[in-house]
Structures are given as structure tokens and as C-alpha cells.
Amino acid sequence: MLTEIADGVFVHTSDFIKSNSVVVQGEDGVLVVDPGITRAELADLAGDIRAMDQHVVAGFATHPDWDHVLWHPALGEAARYGTARCAAVMQDLLVQADWKDQLAGAMPPEYEDEIPMELFGLITGLPADAVEIPWDGPRVRIIEHRAHAPGHAALLVEDSHVLVAGDMLSDILMPFLDLEAADPLGDYLAALRLFEGVADDVETVVPGHGSVGTAGEIRRRIEQDRAYAEALREGRAPDDERVGVSAPLDWLPEVHEWQVVRLAEKRRRDDGS
């Protein structure tokens, strides 16, 4: 079910790690951001849009993770945008004959038969210098960065003061780093500074996974993610409930420890030791 979280901005939340699909109402239709994740949920999302007497005129993928580049025929054939780098990552993957096998290990087995792959990853890259979504609707500013994944972008719906953060600023997930990047922690902290730069214009923040934050919640989430990243950079254990004994998901402490190990390995390689 679509829930209106700000004027002309709606959210649909999946059962899969509270994944959020965002719908922004325009003049002649809607923009759909990160729709997911099962066939039934996507069909319901399309039905909710029709019930609003609307149709999809554009899509956007905040980054090239599998659960952010899905689609369904019921959403129509509108252009599905992403950053140039996001689209390039998808194109590089889809030309490989075994791309579905590569993704199989990353997808939750309990959803294996429910995730639509027919229109997977068909992203049109925007120009590298694009600063907003090209559509007939309220201005949606693109805030591109390198945290979490190559070609990641957050979206600021300016009139409604909504930040669609992609896989950042979650209340249930700690920062997931792009461990293939040259400087994963530096990239993450740089993205948080970008978010801090627009925080005065944000009244509602929508993470890729988790609860919608309102009433100044963005600054608390920025500080929480910054504290986590700085702790890892300094080799300290973070004081973060998302990875502690009361973690909202029981597998998060294990992922946290994996990130710590990978960062240590990377430091040793970089130091030549």
C-alpha cells in the first residue's frame, strides 16, 4: 500500500528488509524510485498508482544493487534512469552470459522464485553532469556520491523537502561500505557531508531500507552513520545498536565483523605488509 509521507510523495514498503519504493507525483504521471521487490509487491505498487488515476512516466535507480534495479511490466515502459556510472555497472553485468548465476548468491533464497528478472537492470544513464531528473514534475535534484556502491545517488524532492537516500541513513542497517573502492570510509564520510549540506532543506528522509524519518531525523542519522564510519577508521568498536546484541536483524553483527576484517586486509595490502 502506498502511504503519503509528504505533499505528492508516497512510499511503498516491502517485506524484504523494509525496502522502500518511492513515488513522486508530477504533472502528467509519477516518478518511481527503486521499485521492489517481489512480483506481487510490484504488481500491487502498479495497482496503487492506477488507483490514484496516475501512470508511470519515469523511473530511477539510486544505485546498481540488485534490489534497486527491478521493474515489472505493469509499471509500463517509461525510461528508467540512473547515474552514468550506475547504468555502466548494469550494462557490464548484463552482457555476461552468466549474469543471473552471479546474482544468485546475493539474492535471498526465500525470494528466489518471486523476484522478476525479465526487466532487470535496464537503466538509462543520465549525463555525467546531470543535476536533476529529466521529467515533467517537481524538481528532483540528484546528489551523486561514491558511498555504498559505484554510481550511487540520493534524490532531493525540493518542493516536498524529501531526501530519498538510497542505501544510506537507515535506522535498521549500519553503513554498508563499498569495499571494492579505493577509500571506502573516505567515500562514505564524503557522502555524509553532502547530505549535511542539504539537511536544512530536508523535512523527511527515506532510506532504502528502514523507517521514514521526519522532524529533523536526518541530522541524527547522519551523525549515527558518521560515528560508525569514524569508529571503523580509527579501529574502535562502534557504539551502535544496529550491530550490537539488540541488532534489529540478527545477521547484522556478522556483516559488521566482515566489514572490519575486510578493511583490515585492505589496510595491510595498501601498506604493502
- Check the CA dihedral 144-146-151-156 and report its sign: negative
Q: Per residue in 192-203, pLDDT tens?
A: 999 999 999 999
CA distances for 73 relative to 25, 38, 56, 171, angstroms: 20, 13, 11, 32
* Rounded Cα gap, residues 19 and 170, in angstroms: 11
Residues of the chain with pLDDT under 50: none
Instruction: Give the span between the Cα atoms of 61 and 49, in whole angstroms.
Output: 18
Q: What is the pTM of this model?
A: 0.96
> From CA 5, how far away is CA 9, in angstroms rounded?
6
Residue 273 confidence (pLDDT): 60
* Interatomic CA distance for residues 141 and 160, integer angstroms: 12
Beta bridge partner(s), residue 141: 132, 156
Nearest partner of 68 among 148, 136, 146, judged by Cα: 148
Which of 34, 74, 70, 66 is CA-nearest to residue 207?
34
| Domain range annotation of the chain | 3-239
Q: CB 225: neighbour CB atoms within 10 A? A: 25
CB 79 within 8 A of CB 57: no
What are 13-71's pLDDT values in tens digits? 999 999 999 999 999 999 999 999 999 999 999 999 999 999 999 999 999 999 999 99
**Right CATH for 3-239 from 3.90.550.10, 1.10.3720.10, 3.60.15.10, 3.40.1030.10:** 3.60.15.10
CA distance 225 to 260: 15
